Structure 1
Amino acid sequence: MDPSEELSRHGDATPAPIALSAWTDLVQEDLLHANPTAENLRRPVADVQLYDALDDQANVRNAVVLAMGVSCGSVGFERVLVHAADGEAAAVIVKARGTPIEDLRAASSRHDVPVLVVGDDADWTRLIAMARTAVAGAAVDSVSGVRLGDLFAFANAVASIANGAASIVDPSGRILGYSTVPGQPIDDLRRETTLTLQERTPPALDADFKVVYASTDALFVQSPSGIRDRLALAVRAGGELLGSIWIIDPGGERRQPALDALDRLAPLAGLHMLHARSASDFTERRNADLMRTLMDDPAQASFAAAQLGLEFTDGFAIAAFALTHPNTGSLDAMREQHRLLQLVTVTCNVQFRSAYSALIDSVVYALLPCAGESPRAAHRRVIRDIGSYATTISAHPVVAAVGGIAEQIGELPRSRTEAVRTLQYLMHQQSVSRENPTLHPPAAAVFEDYWTELNLLEIGTYIAEKHLGRFDVIDAIRAYDAAHHTDFLITLRAYFDSNASVSTAADRMHVHGNTIRYRITRLAEEFGIDFDNPSTRLWLWLRLVSTDL
C-alpha cells in the first residue's frame, strides 16, 4: 500500500483513546507506575488535564490528571484520587517527593485509580506539552516505526508520504532534520540550507514564515523565480510554536494529497519535535551551568568559556531579561520564560551572529559581544528589539538591562551584578507605574543610564545594614506624619530636591510658598534640623533619596 493511502486510511477514522501503557511509551518520560496491573495498563487515555482543587465538577473521564502542587499523603492528594476515581480518570500523575512507592501503591489500590510518579525535578510545562501531544499524535500511526525525536528519520517518512523533499525548521531558522529520499528533486535553497543547517533569513524576518506561522493548516507557498514552490506546515503543541515543516512541492495531482497528509501529520510532528527538544534540554542545562560559572565563579570562568567556545577578544556585557509576570513560579510564567529565552537567542543570533544565553532563576541572561565602534548602541538596539518582539510571547512586558562592559573574563561577575541591579530598579519602576498610570518608565536600559540612582540605592542599603540612620530624625518625621496626617517628609524631600528654593518646592508640591516656609520652620523647631549646616542637609537628602528610588 502507498504510504499516503495508509495515512489517509488512518486519518479518516475517528481517533480512538490510546491505552495507558502505549501513552506512556509515546511520552517517553520517566513515569513509574505505582500499581502496574494489567487492568491499569489498559485504561484508555483521551485527554490530559491539570487538577484544579476548586473545580470538582471537571470532566476527567479517560483523562490523565496532573496533580501539580499536591503533596503525596496529604488530604489534598486523597481528594485528587477520589475525584479521579469518581470521574473514571485514566490515571493521576504526582511527584513523590520522598513518599515510599508502597504508600503510593496502596493509595492506588484503595481508590482503584492508576498512580504514575514523575521525578521531583521534572518540568511540569514540558510534561504537559508532551502528554497532550502524545494523545493527539497517537492517532497517526503510519510512521510509528520512526523513533520519537529522530527528526531526520521523521523527515524521510514525511518526504515519502508527501512525495517531496522535507526539511524541519525550528523558530530560530535552524534546520533540525531533512530528508534524503533518493530521486526527489531539490533546488539551490534546499542544498544551501541543508549544508549550513540554517535558513538564509531568520523566520522572524521572513514573510513566508510569518504567513505559515499564522495558519493552522498546511499551505502552498509560491517561491520566487529559480526556487521551487513549497508546501509548509507550522508545528505546535499546546499552543506553543515548535517550528515548521517545509516540503518541495510535488505539483499537479500530488499537491493536495500532500497538503492533507501534512495536516494529519501535525500532531505526530509536534510529538517528534517535543522529544527532540527534550533531548536538547541537556545542552540547555549545560549551557546554563556554564553561564552561571562564568558569572559567579572567577576561578572556573576560563574553563567555562572554553567549553562554550567563547573567544574573549573585544569583551562582553551581561544582559538580563525578565517578564513582569505577577507569579513567576506559575505554569504560564515558566512557559513564557522559555519562550523569552528562545526570543533572546534568536535575536542575538540575528544581531551578533552568535548567541550565549541561558535561563537561570526566572531571569534570561545573555552575553552580548562588544565588537565594533559602538557596542553600546548595538546593546541598546538588541534589548529594544527584544522588548518589541516580546508582545508575541507574553501579555506581560519584558524588562531588559545590560551591565557594564567586561574587558576581561574576570570582570563578568561585575557586569552581571550591574545588569541585575539595573533590572531590579527597572522592575520596581514598572511596579510603581502600575499604581500611577501617569508614569511611563523605560523597560530597557544599560547600566550607565541609571548609575547615579543605583549607587544611591547602594548607599541606602549600606545605611540600613549598618543602622546608621538611628541617630537622625527621618524615622521620627515619618512617624509624626503617619500619626498626624501631615506632609513634613514630602516637603523636606521637595525642599532638598529644589536646592532650598521655596518657590521651586512650592511648584513641585502645588502649594503656596508660605506653606513651604511654615513647614520648614516647623521642621527646624520640632525636630531640631539645622538647615544652615551643609553636612546635615547632605545627610538627610541621602537618607531620603536612597530609600525613595
Structure 2
Amino acid sequence: MDLRDEDLTSLANSLAELVGAPITIEDPQSSVLAYSHSLEADRSQAVDDARITTILGRQVPPHYRALLDDAGVYAQIARSHDVVTVDLPGSGMTQRAIVAVRDDTGTLLGSVWAAVPSGLTDAQRQTLLAGAPVVARGLVRERQRADSSRRRTVEVVEALLRGGDDAAQAARSVGLRMPCTALVLASDRARDSVPAHRAGAFVLHLAAVAPSATAAQVDEVVYAVVSGDEAGASRLARDFLARTRGPLVIGVGRTVDTAEAIDVSARDADAVVRAVRRRGRTGVVETVRGVLADVVALRASDALAGYEEFSPLSSLERFDAEHHADLLESARAYLAHGGDVAAAAAALHVHPNTLRNRLRRASQAAGVDVDDPDTRLLLGLALKLRDLDA
C-alpha cells in the first residue's frame, strides 16, 4: 500500500489496517495529531480508557502522562530507533508499542502509538518501523502547511495593526465584521514572551468561541481582533484566563466602528497591558476605561522624560534630603485630601498649623506652591507614577 501522499488521518487509518491495531500519532508534547477510525482494527482490539480519553481531549491526560514519564517511556522514545513497548497493568492502559518519528536530521517530530493488548508481533514491529519515515514526511508536510497558514495570519494581523487602508483590506480578506475590538495577550512581565503553547491555546479559544476573530503571535505578545464591543471582548478574554493558568494579562482596547481605526484600539490594548504590568498585577483582564488614570499617567510620563530634575517632586525630595524635613509627605497628604488642611493634618497626626507651616516652607524655601494649579498637576502626576512603581 502506497502511503506517501496521504494526510495524517489517512496515514493513521492505513497503519491501523497494516498493523492490525488502533493507532494514534502524537507530537512531542503528547498532543494527538491524528488517530485511526478503522472499524476493523478497532473491533479486533480492545479500545481502553487511555485511548478514549486521549482522543476526546486531543491530548494524553496528565495522569497517564505522569505514569508513562515515571516509567521512563518518553526518555526511551527520545533515544531509541527501535519500537518501544510499555505495559502498565492496572493503569487502564493496555500494552502499547511506540515508534519515534524523526526527520532527516534526526530531530524528533512525534511518535506513533499502537494499542497491542496481546503483545507486539515481529510483523507489527516491522510495519511500525517501516511506517515511521512515511509518517515523518507527513508531519513535515503538515508543519509546512501550518507554517504557511501561520505566516498568512500574522501578515493579516500586522496589516490590521497598521490601520488605514491596509487594515480595511485585511479585514475584508478575513470577513471581519464591524464594530470590532482589539485585545493583547501578554506575559505579566515586560521582558517575557507569551509561551508558544499558551499563545496557541488563546488562538484556538478564540477560533472556537468567536469564529470571525483574527489572532496571531507578533513578537512577545498575541494580538487579536474580534467582532463586537469592548464588553464582549472582555468576556471572551476572562473566559480564557479562567481556563488557563500562567502569569498572563489581557488588555482590551476601545471598540471602533471601522477597520481603518483598528490600530487605535490596538494601541489602547498595549497601553492597558503596560499599566497593568506597572502595577504588578497578573491573571487579569482590563479595559482602557478601567485603568484610564494609569494609562494617561504613563503616557504623560513619556512626555516628561528628561525633565525630571525640574519637577516639583524632585525639588521637594532634594529639600527634604538636605534639611531632614517632611515637606513631600505633607504635600502628598494635602493633595490626597483635596486641599483640606484639617483632614490632611489628621492623616499626618500633626496640628493643622504645623501642616500650614510646612506648606508655606515648601513654597518659600523649596519653590513648590501646592496651591498653584500647574504645580499641583505636575506634583500629582509625579506622585501617581511613584504609586504605580510601588
TM value normalised by structure 2: 0.67
CA contact (8 A) 2:32 2:58 kept: no
Aligned to 1:296: 162
| Residue 20 (structure 2) pairs with residue 163 (structure 1) | yes
Matches within 5 A, 1:107-256: 151-152=8-9, 154-156=11-13, 158-160=15-17, 162-168=19-25, 176-177=33-34, 184=41, 203=58, 209-214=61-66, 215-216=68-69
- 1:543, distance to aligned residue in structure 2 (A): 4.5
Find out whether 1:352 has 2:215 as its counterpart: no
Q: Within 2, Cα distance between the matches of 1:211 and 1:267?
A: 30
Are the structure 2 counterparts of residues 354 and 231 from structure 1 closer, same or farther at C-alpha, using a change threshold of 3 Å?
farther
Q: Distance in 1 between matches of 2:188 and 2:134?
A: 34
Question: Which SS does the other structure have where 2:291 is aligned?
Answer: helix
CA displacement 1:464-510 (0-9 Å, x = unmatched): 48x6x7876443223334555655334423321222345654676xx
CA distance in 2, matches of 1:502, 1:234: 78
The equivalent position to 1:311 in structure 2, one of 176, 181, 195, is: 176
Question: Which residue is 2:365 aligned to?
Answer: 526
Are 2:179 and 1:340 aligned? no
CA contact (8 A) 1:235 1:269 kept: no
- Return closer, same or farther for 1:245/1:219 CA change in 2, 3 Å cut-off: farther
Match of 2:21, SS?
A: coil
Aligned to 1:379: 236
CA distance in 2, matches of 1:302, 1:287: 15
Aligned to 1:42: none
Structure 1 position 497 matched with structure 2 position 336? yes
Letter in 2 for 1:306: R
**Count of residue pairs the alignment pairs up:** 356
Distance 2:367 2:234 in 1: 50
CA drift of 1:162 comes to 4.0
Distance across 1 between alignment mates of 2:65 and 2:34 = 19
Q: Distance in 1 between matches of 2:109 and 2:284?
A: 28
- Equivalent position SS for 1:405: strand
Tell me, in whole angstroms, the C-alpha distance in 2 between the residues paired with 1:320 and 1:476. Answer: 38
- Per the TM alignment, residue 398 of structure 1 is displaced from its structure 2 partner at its CA by 1.6
Residues 321, 401 of structure 1: 8 Å contact kept: yes
2: CA distance between counterparts of 1:173 and 1:251?
Answer: 21
Asked whether the equivalents of residues 212 and 233 of structure 1 are also in contact (C-alpha less than 8 Å), the reply is no
Q: Judging changes above 3 Å, is the alpha-carbon distance between structure 1 residues 400 and 259 closer, same or farther for their aligned structure 2 residues? A: farther
Residue in structure 1 matched with residue 260 of structure 2 by the alignment = 410
1:518–1:209 CA distance, 2 compared to 1 (3 A): same
Query: In 2 relative to 1, CA 347–505 (structure 1 residues): closer, same or farther, beyond 3 Å?
Result: farther
For the 8 Å contact 1:212–1:219, the answer to whether it is kept is: no
SS in 2 for 1:449: coil
> 8 Å contact 2:186–2:248 — kept in the other structure?
yes
1:461 aligns with 2:298: no
Deviation at residue 149 of structure 1 after TM alignment: 11
User: What is the CA-CA distance between 1:532 and the residue it aligns to?
Assistant: 4.0
Distance across 2 between alignment mates of 1:531 and 1:325: 36
**Aligned 8 A contact 2:8 2:34 in 1:** yes
Tell me the distance in 2 between the aligned counterparts of 1:345 and 1:171.
20
Deviation at 1:163, TM superposition (A): 1.6
1:110-143 CA-partner distances (Å, limit 9, x unpaired):
xxxxxxxxxxxxxxxxxxxxxxxxxxxxxxxxxx
Quote the offset at 1:177 in angstroms: 4.3
Letter in 2 for 1:389: R
Q: Which amino acid aligns with 2:180?
A: F
Match of 1:361 in 2: 219
CA-based RMSD: 5.2
**Aligned with residue 389 of structure 1, among 237, 245, 262:** 245
Deviation at 1:418, TM superposition (A): 0.6
Q: Is the 8 A contact 1:403 1:419 kept in 2?
A: yes
Deviation per CA, 1:64-114: give whole Å up to 9, x if none.
Answer: xxxxxxxxxxxxxxxxxxxxxxxxxxxxxxxxxxxxxxxxxxxxxxxxxxx
Q: For residues 25-75 of structure 1, what are the alpha-carbon distances to aligned partners after superposition, in whole Å with 9 as ceiling and x for unaligned? A: xxxxxxxxxxxxxxxxxxxxxxxxxxxxxxxxxxxxxxxxxxxxxxxxxxx
Query: Structure 2: how far apart are the matches of 1:234 and 1:410?
Result: 51
**Using the alignment, how far apart are the partners of 1:299 and 1:341 within structure 2?**
28
Q: Which amino acid aligns with 2:222?
A: V
Matches of 1:351 and 1:173, distance apart in 2: 24
Q: 1:540 to 1:234 in 2, by over 3 A?
A: farther
| Residue among 270, 273, 285 paired with 1:444 | 285
Q: What SS does the aligned partner of 2:279 have? A: helix
Which TM-score applies when normalising by structure 1? 0.51
1:422 shift after superposition = 0.6
- Cα distance change of structure 1 residues 450 and 545 upon mapping to structure 2, 3 Å threshold: same
The 1:303/1:538 distance shift into structure 2, 3 A limit, reads: closer
Give secondary structure in 2 for the equivalent of 1:404: strand
The 3-state SS of whatever aligns with 1:402 is strand
CA distance in 1, matches of 2:189, 2:382: 31
More divergent stretch after superposition (455-464 vs 411-420): 455-464
Give the conservation status (yes or no) of the 8 Å contact 2:21–2:116.
yes
Q: Which residue of 2 aligns with 1:422?
A: 272
Give me the whole-angstrom Cα distance separating, in 1, the residues matched to 2:3 and 2:231: 50
Whole-angstrom distance in 2 between the partners of 1:232 and 1:381: 41
Preserved CA contact (<8 Å) 1:337 1:364: no
- Bigger relative contact order, structure 1 or 2 (CA pairs below 8 A, ≥6 apart): 2
The residue that corresponds to 2:143 in the other structure is: 277
Q: CA deviation at 1:276?
A: 3.4
- Structure 1 179/411 Cα, relative in aligned 2: closer, same or farther at 3 Å? same
Q: Any idea what SS the aligned residue of 2:331 has?
A: helix
